[in-house]
Amino acid sequence: MTTPVTITTHINAAADSGEYHAHIPGSDEIGRLTWVLRKDAQGGAVRVAEHTLVPPSLGGQGIAAKLVEALIADARAQGFHIVPECSYVAAAFKRHPEWADLRA
C-alpha cells in the first residue's frame, strides 16, 4: 500500500528561494526539499536543491523521492535546471539517467 502524500510548493520570491512540502494525512510533521534560485552562465534559471529533510516519524514511506519527483516535474514544466547540492537529490539523479538533461 502506498502512503498518500500531498506535495505543496512554497516560493519566497523576495529571497529567490523556496521549498516543497510533503504532507501525510494524520500527521502534523512535513517533509521538505529546500532550494535557492541562481542563474547559469547563459542567464537561465537554475534551482540549487540544498536539503531534503524528512522527519524520522515519516521515514521509509518514499517521502523524499516524492519531493524530488515534484522538483523534476516543475523543472520540466517551467524550463529550469537543477544543481543537486543535496546528497539525496544527487543520488536520485544517479538512479534516474533520464533526468540528465535537467542537471545544471
Residue ranges of domains in the chain: 6-102
Instruction: List all residues 6 or more positions away from 9 whose beta carbon is below 8 Å from its beta carbon.
Output: 18, 19, 20, 21, 70, 74
Q: Classify domain 6-102 at the CATH topology level.
A: Aminopeptidase (3.40.630)
- The candidate with the shortest Cα–Cα distance to 36, out of 71, 76, 73, 7, is 71
Residues 44-53: b if buried by 16+ CB within 10 A, e if exposed: eebbbbbebb
Kindly report the pTM of this predicted structure.
0.93
pLDDT confidence tier of residue 2, bands split at 50, 70 and 90? low
Mean pLDDT of 41-51: 91
Beta strand extents in the chain (DSSP E only): 6-12, 17-23, 30-39, 45-53, 81-84
Q: Is it the case that residue 18 has pLDDT exceeding 70?
A: yes
- Residue identified by cell 516543475 is 74
Share of the chain above pLDDT 90, in %: 88
